[in-house]
Chains A and B, each alone.
Chain A
Amino acid sequence: MKKLIGLFIVLLLILSGCLEIIQEEDSDEYRALSAQYDDFITHDVLNDEQFESFINTATFESVLSNVMIKSQFFNDLNSLVETRYGSGVIISKGVYYYVLTTSSLINSDQYDNATYQVTDYQGRITRADVDHGSTSYGLTVLRFQRTLDTHLPAIEFAEQMPLNGEPILEFGYKGKVVNAMTMGLMVEEYVDESTSYHYFYTTISSDEFANGSAIINLSNQLIGIQIDVIDGKSYAISIKEIIEFLQFYES
């Protein structure tokens, strides 16, 4: 009888703890979302300390990849016809620094000649050239020469897009302010039916000088590049397309 009572108590203990047994879905999709959620909670800015850490990392690491771009366009008489200002972000480095930006800032189809200047986060100005670009993606890569006294990092890429409502940060040349940082929320992803490219809306207050600006998640990883301003807010192409665009030209 004692043994039966013992077994019954064991049964009760098991049943009392059974609500904590969670069987997680066994799929890559689930694991990816779970890792993203865990990473988000680790960096969530609800906590003051994590918010400070996010901003301090953005200032001392992410923003060092930021550049301001000045494009000048000339006619056949070599007269200056148009000047455009915008932003870009360093995505890799080798012999050159490679800067990702929007094609609208660089595109010189209607002109005979164009020159490009990049200004880094410390205000140093360097001449840049077009490395490659794609009008369908709306993205262009510029390159500029490394010098002995410049040590600029490349931005890290995110593997996943944030969910709607996640805080994000843009840095660029908004309002003609070098290294301007603006926060907002991710609003929603949008898939263009004709190209199947992914874009996203944000609540980040922006302007045309921020076209080409990097948008990062709370882990300070690149999630998109501003390509336009819609109703005063930043509108961007997604990291999925950026990676696809870069892989296409690497291959």
Chain B
Amino acid sequence: MKKVIAIFIIFITSFSISACTVNKTYDDLYLEYSTHLEDNETNYLSTIDFFNHVSSEIIKSVVHVEKEIYGVGSSTGSGVIIKLEGNDYYILTNNHVIYNASTTVNATYTVTDYLGNEYSAYLIDHSEDYDLAILRFTKRTFVLPVIDFADYNPRLGINLSILGYPSYQLNAITMGNVIDYAPIDVASSSYDVINVLFDVLISDAPVKSGSSGSVVINEQFQLVGLVYAGNFLDSSETSEYTFCIPVEKIYEFFQLKQFSLVVES
């Protein structure tokens, strides 16, 4: 009798397992895949709209800066348009991008916009303590947009986008987050070029060497910082961390230099 019951239970078990196995066909998988895409369409569109605004509108405020010193050579960096007053555009970049060690030979500066148009630019003011500098160039008929500024430094974890011209790459965009504020020792630089002693914004957005002066924006497309250094681990030239002058220190620099973002009528 026991054997019969055991065989019966084994039979029931086998039957139940085979009966409750779900067969998944190509059509079922296709439906699951399509449903995932349909369910998330709104999120995708929001991400796409954000990125396209950065890549097609904000990029127009970003410029390439080239310094040339006769007999010494040339070097490049990035900058961002911060003000249009009359026929003059003002751009913000790093002190070490425009720095000229020579006391006898003047440096000449050329700014290139996102379309490749070149302009001669002139140094307005600079500071090694903030590693910031302001250049000016004359507007042509073509209008370039001015970047908006955030009022405060971004909080930890906030998403950032970095726009610039790293290693001569045109119109580059990278993304990451604010991961810390801390003092950084840029050992490779002499103190009359970079002497930043305050806490700087540290981001995990990667940049390449030559990204100095790249603009850092938040999700509201406002300037929250300016790249001035990165830690480059090897010859791949891509940084693990990016170091930026935070916007509140940029305001401090403007105040010190009596530069106003407000356009006088």
Contact = CB atoms under 8 A, between A and B. Distances in A.
Interface string B149-193: 000000000010000000111111111110000000000000000
Interface stretch (A48-56, A79-87, A232-240): A48-56
A179 B174 contact: no
B205 interface: yes
A52 B176 contact: yes
B17 interface: yes
19 contacts: A4-B9, A8-B9, A14-B16, A14-B17, A23-B22, A25-B24, A25-B26, A30-B25, A48-B177, A52-B175, A52-B176, A60-B172, A60-B206, A60-B208, A63-B169, A122-B167, A165-B44, A166-B37, A177-B114
Nearest to B236: A60
Residue in A10, A51, A176, A177 whose Cβ sees the most chain B Cβ within 10 Å:
A177
Contacts of B5: 4
Contact of B51 (A3, A23, A25, A55): A55
A21 to B, nearest CB: 5
Nearest to A178: B170
Interface of A: 3-4, 7-8, 10-11, 14-15, 18-19, 21-25, 27, 29-30, 33-34, 36-37, 40-41, 45-46, 48, 51-52, 55-56, 59-60, 63-64, 121-123, 163-167, 175-185, 203, 205
A64 B170 CA distance: 10
Contact of A7 (B9, B20, B33, B51): B9
Nearest to A49: B177
A121 B45 CA distance: 27
B237 to A, nearest CB: 9
Interface stretch (B52-60, B79-87, B102-110, B124-132): B52-60
Contacts of B55: 180-183
Contacts of B21: 18, 21-23
B173 A59 contact: yes
Contacts of A165: 34, 37-38, 41, 44
B170 A179 contact: yes
A33 B33 contact: yes
Contacts of B48: 167, 183-185, 203
Nearest to A33: B29
A23 B6 contact: no
Residue in B26, B116, B159 whose Cβ sees the most chain A Cβ within 10 Å:
B26
B262 interface: no
A175 to B, nearest CB: 7
A55 B29 contact: no
B152 to A, nearest CB: 21
Nearest to A7: B9
B174 A22 contact: no
Contact of A48 (B36, B159, B171): B159
Contacts of A163: 30, 33-34, 37
B33 A11 contact: no
Interface of B: 2, 5-6, 9, 12-13, 16-17, 20-26, 29-30, 32-34, 36-38, 40-41, 43-45, 47-48, 51-52, 55-56, 59, 114-116, 159, 167-177, 205-206, 208, 238
For the residues of B in contact with A, the DSSP-based class is helix
Contact of B169 (A40, A179, A183): A179
B175 A51 contact: yes
Contact of A185 (B36, B44, B116): B44
Nearest to B13: A11
Nearest to A60: B238
Contact of A55 (B20, B30, B32, B174): B174
A167 B44 contact: yes
Contacts of A180: 55-56, 171
Given A18-B16, A51-B175, A178-B171, A46 B40 contact: yes
A110 to B, nearest CB: 30
Ordered nearest first, which 3 A-B pairs have the shortest CB separation? A165-B37, A18-B20, A52-B175
Contacts of B2: 3
